[in-house]
Structure 1
Amino acid sequence: MEGDMYENLLEVDEGKTESLSSAWDKIWSETKQMWIVAGPAILVPFSTFGIIVISQAFIGQIDSTELAAYSLVYTVIFRFVLGLQFGMVTGVGTLCGQAFGAKLYHKLGVYLQQSCIISLGVTALMTPLFVFAAPILKALGQDHNIADMAGKYSPWFVAVAFLYAVMYSCNAFLQSQSKNFVVSFYAVLSLVVHVFLSWLLSVKLRYGVIGVMVSTVMAFLIPNIGQIVYIMRGGCQETWRGFTASAFKDLGRTTRLAISSGVMICLEFCYSTILIPLTGNMGNAEVTIDALSICLNISGWAMMISVGFMASTSVRVSNELGRRDGKAAKLSIMVAVGTSFSIGLVVCVFFVVFRENAAYLFTNNEEVAKAVARLSPLLVLLLLLNSVQPVLSGFANGTGQQGIVAYVNLASYYLIGLPLGILLGYVFNLEVEGVWIGIISGTAVQTAILVLMTCMADWNKQISLAQKRISPPSAEDETTHHSTNPH
């Protein structure tokens, strides 16, 4: 009897060991698959955002007023347009990822064309914002001299915005099928070229701000040309089959998803941007705008890591839902959140140690640097929240729940965070710190809601919705699929 009990205990122990070993194997396998997408996905936003920050750094060394003007155009107007573009392309990326997981390869090329049509159309509609940048900024209460100078730079952002639209569409198309080398290569190349051209045109040849803006446009032209050539010259033979009228057949359904995704992301992008106009009419506007811009740039650099994990989560979740594997989708979220938060902690420690010197990377103004140091505790808190929140947004993207999250963002940011920021900043006279505390509070509420949504997700329902979302809209499309993909 004792021998039987001993044998049973051994069997239980061995079973636990095997189960634990199997769990670690799954986590390790998912981690490798995550980094295949996340690595390049971090490089791309790191590069694109890096181009903007490098431009700011060169302009900041020319003149602090020029820096404030450039920062206004970027943070108030361009980020709004960028949020719409990025969000709408992310919505189409959901369809690409789910179709790829379901092996509906022919659909990806159609979705790429639809993404370009939608994002370029929206960019054209947003162009007047750049044309009338100066009066818009003045209407928002900004310093008139800075707003007038911003109006001189804003037309350059029109070209950048159109280049962004195509680049994002190609990125989503390639990342959904894990074709990451070409994306990474052109991301790094464009950043290196921008550093060299900015130095050559603004410092060596003394073209100043105009030289920096020319370099910026060239930097975004490079990945567009490279990715388009790669796609059309045989790099994506299964998923790109040339231009087709099918891109217009179901454009309405794709546009609806793209719009809901665009609203979701745009509400996030514009939320932090509100800091600038809310504090731009406080005392010492130039120093305030410069200090906040530097803080947002530092936060933006760190957030590029989380944005990479957001893209990875979106691709992994959408792929697994396409394959009808809810458990794998859930595991991908857990691994991505854990990894991103761990990296976020390291970034926070690094910034706390070097906070006194961080501002001098962007400015040589001692007063601005002191203002940045004063805001550093709030920046650390924001860095921690931003290491989790974008990854959970990736869950929403991968499952196609952008419409729901758009309402969550609206309530958390604009009904809680923004009123609280105005109350603390203007009524309780906490000024910049008060406004930012309110903004961060809204982000915390939104993050908490996303955590609940992720924990309570019905994965069988999400699989069913994903299959309906990518189902062929017509019998003709169904026939095309079976003739080209017999498996």
Structure 2
Amino acid sequence: MSPAQPIKFKPRPDRLLEASTFVSNSYLSSSPIAQEILARDLAECCDDYGTHDCRCGHDYDDDVDFETEPLEVTNAQGSSFAPRSSGVAYGTLRPIITTETAASSDVALSRDAERSLLRDNHILPPKHRRGLAEPAWKQMYRRMFSTKVPQSDEVGPIISASSTKALESTPLLQDIYLDPPSPTESDEINRWEAAVAANVLKTTWQREAQTLTQYSRSLIITFLLHYSVTVTSVFTVGRIGRLELGAVSLATMTANITCYAPVQGLSTCLDTLCAQAYGSGHKHLVGLQLQRMTYLLWMLLVPIVTLWWFSGSVLASIIPEPETAALAGLYLRVLILGTPGVAAFESGKRFVQAQGLFHATTFVLLIGASVNIFANWFFVWKMGWGFTGAATAVVFTQNLLPFLLFLYVRFIEGMECWNGLTRRAFSNWGPMVKLALPGMIMVEAQYFAFEVLTLAASQFGSAHLAAQSVVVTVTSTTFNIPFPLSIAASTRVANLIGARLSGAAKTSAKVALVAGCLVGLFNLALLSSLRFKIPYLFTNDEEVAAIVSEVLPICAVLQLFDALAAISHGLLRGIGRQSIGSFTNLGSYYLVALPISFSTGWVLGWKLEGLWFGIAIGLAVVSSVELWYLYQANWDHAVEEAEMRMRSDDVCHGEFK
């Protein structure tokens, strides 16, 4: 593969080859297009600053052999078991999983996970010394919730063979360590490799439940915080009136389809580019990718802003309620001021995630969600701006989030990947767009499948459109519990598959499915028992509340299928079968759910109940198909495929040569 010439700058061909050599050696390399982008960026960097003053972290010399120069990747050891973070488009109707990436800062978590499994299998001594005499209640508690695997004679040779410091008097298998040894890190690595090679590592449901809880709890908080911006807006507008509530639903649908989905979809390519640049040691390129994507998204906003400015007349030609269409157009006109912040935040959060700073987004959202509540009260009620004030509060929050993220990076951590503004951000756009388009199409397709329900509900009148706004908000809020759990399950299963522990991966998958069932049943019980209470949290309109209470039983049943579908899709990502889940989701939505929704909604006259009945059937099909595939899947074969994917870097490197 011969790299194409950059758009504006013209680096020397030899420098381009040198740069591609450095990039292709990264343990994060996954895409030939991504390698081409980073190789060209490195070539431009080296050409601009000279061979002896390159800002790539290397002092090049004309006599250096770039084919054999080793790439310095910090903390790369043990990365095969490092947790994989996911590129997530969240904050609107349905969060969307995109590209799986890795960060070198996850190696510490990798080591902790390895130690936990080794302790559970009695290959390492326990973390805490156990007393000789324990109360009966403590012994019972340990039997029920202990993560320890029942002892087996198979682990004895592993300890003796892998521990270079073991003496004749060292206890090999023993429940009680009166004076536990402290193995070195190299000894722990040797024991881990020996245990994996012998295929004796097992796990328990207690360990997997503990791990999934640990992985998902912060994600649940993050997702709920981000979606709270939408919930607060709907909650506030619902107190103003029926028309306003329906207009917000219509405006949000339009914003999701025309702006938020394309922006989030295009920015998913940063999950690959930023992570690869960071993992290869060329940290300044992370900031370059951030600038380039932000500028691209801002340019994309020009036609979007034009559409939103005239959206009132466009929606009036589609919606039978002219007043609702006019209010939705007004809401969108105000939202125009928040679109630059949306684009900047989508790029910025991937900038920090590539560095392993996942808590940065949580901190920012914690502050932003709190301020958003105050902003809604201030603009809507204190200032008396009413409906326009609700849109102003959204705009204020959308621009606040990237500003808070900037402050976090500037004053806390993350500046090591920022090298200042550069004109190179205006070049090399072609390959980046090519890499980003598939992500945008996938996100757009999944958004549209749900957003079309709002357009359909608008045909039944303002009351049904307002009720749709409430139902969408409620179901999307509940979905933000099983979806983070699915990310945790995907991460855990992928880690175990990467470590060649197919048996442990199966156990983790079973625990995740049980957890998904429990979450689904909890949401089902919640919506069923509060079906007459929930509507009045959003509106005082009796007709709207009555429609919502009629639809909520269908949405309650939907919760079980929704949770199982989310977990199943996460497990498919974990075993490298995400394409199965993606095609199953899209096929079920467009070939099953929407046709049934339109048939029951209009032909049978069920209206909003019919629309959601079709979605429930579609999700039932999704969960059934994916669960059947997981049941039939060959998990040992998934381990072999994972090993083949880890060797793909060599293939990509050969293509560049």
Offset at residue 125 of structure 1 (A):
4.5
Report what 2:92 is aligned to.
none
Offset at residue 382 of structure 1 (A):
2.4
| Higher radius of gyration, 1 or 2 | 2
Is 1:438 aligned to residue 614 of structure 2? yes
Q: Which sits farther off after the overlay, 327-336 or 304-313?
A: 327-336
Offset at residue 229 of structure 1 (A):
3.0
Offset at residue 233 of structure 1 (A):
4.8
428, 438, 445: which one aligns with 2:604: 428
The one-letter amino acid paired with 1:362 is F
Report what 2:546 is aligned to.
370
521, 524, 527: which one aligns with 1:348: 524
CA distance in 2, matches of 1:316, 1:247: 36
RMSD of aligned C-alpha atoms?
4.1
Measured against aligned partners, the alpha-carbon deviations of 1:157-205 in whole angstroms (never above 9, x if no partner) come to: 2233332222233333434554233222221211111111211222123
Measured against aligned partners, the alpha-carbon deviations of 1:64-97 in whole angstroms (never above 9, x if no partner) come to: 2112112110124435532333344445436656
Measured against aligned partners, the alpha-carbon deviations of 1:222-273 in whole angstroms (never above 9, x if no partner) come to: 2211212333556136655556678778755554443222222322222222
CA distance in 2, matches of 1:104, 1:409: 37
Report what 1:461 is aligned to.
641
Measured against aligned partners, the alpha-carbon deviations of 1:105-163 in whole angstroms (never above 9, x if no partner) come to: 74755554555355445444433442232233233344122111211111222233332
The one-letter amino acid paired with 1:418 is L
235, 239, 249: which one aligns with 1:57: 235
The one-letter amino acid paired with 1:78 is N
303, 306, 327: which one aligns with 2:479: 303
Offset at residue 357 of structure 1 (A):
0.5
360, 372, 382: which one aligns with 2:536: 360
The one-letter amino acid paired with 1:50 is S
Is 1:163 aligned to residue 341 of structure 2? yes
- Structure 1 residues 128 and 440, CA, compared in 2 at 3 Å: closer, same or farther? farther
- Structure 1 residues 29 and 349, CA, compared in 2 at 3 Å: closer, same or farther? closer
> 5+ residue gaps in structure 2?
1-148, 156-194
Offset at residue 355 of structure 1 (A):
1.6
3-state DSSP class of the match of 2:554?
helix
3-state DSSP class of the match of 1:357?
coil
Taking structure 1 as the reference length, what is the TM-score of the superposition? 0.79
Measured against aligned partners, the alpha-carbon deviations of 1:405-461 in whole angstroms (never above 9, x if no partner) come to: 554444221222212222222223332222222232223333444445656473443
**Greater helix proportion:** 1
CA distance in 1, matches of 2:583, 2:507: 26
Aligned 8 A contact 1:90 1:397 in 2: no
Is 1:190 aligned to residue 327 of structure 2? no
Measured against aligned partners, the alpha-carbon deviations of 1:23-48 in whole angstroms (never above 9, x if no partner) come to: 4469637844x555533332333223
Bigger relative contact order, structure 1 or 2 (CA pairs below 8 A, ≥6 apart): 1
- Structure 1 residues 451 and 228, CA, compared in 2 at 3 Å: closer, same or farther? farther
Report what 1:15 is aligned to.
152
Aligned 8 A contact 1:27 1:331 in 2: no
Aligned positions of 1:210-225 closer than 5 A: 210-225=388-403
CA distance in 2, matches of 1:311, 1:242: 33
CA distance in 1, matches of 2:496, 2:241: 50
Report what 1:7 is aligned to.
none
Report what 1:481 is aligned to.
none
Aligned positions of 1:312-323 closer than 5 A: 312=488
- Structure 1 residues 473 and 278, CA, compared in 2 at 3 Å: closer, same or farther? farther
Report what 1:419 is aligned to.
595
Q: Which sits farther off after the overlay, 170-179 or 146-155?
A: 170-179
Is 1:274 aligned to residue 452 of structure 2? yes
Aligned 8 A contact 1:91 1:400 in 2: no
- Structure 1 residues 467 and 406, CA, compared in 2 at 3 Å: closer, same or farther? same
Report what 1:84 is aligned to.
262
Report what 2:387 is aligned to.
209
3-state DSSP class of the match of 1:235?
coil
CA distance in 1, matches of 2:573, 2:282: 20
Offset at residue 52 of structure 1 (A):
1.6
> 5+ residue gaps in structure 1?
1-11, 479-487
CA distance in 2, matches of 1:124, 1:186: 27
- Structure 1 residues 104 and 187, CA, compared in 2 at 3 Å: closer, same or farther? same
- Structure 1 residues 344 and 99, CA, compared in 2 at 3 Å: closer, same or farther? farther
CA distance in 1, matches of 2:376, 2:403: 20
Taking structure 2 as the reference length, what is the TM-score of the superposition? 0.60
- Structure 1 residues 396 and 433, CA, compared in 2 at 3 Å: closer, same or farther? same
Report what 2:317 is aligned to.
139
CA distance in 2, matches of 1:169, 1:25: 39
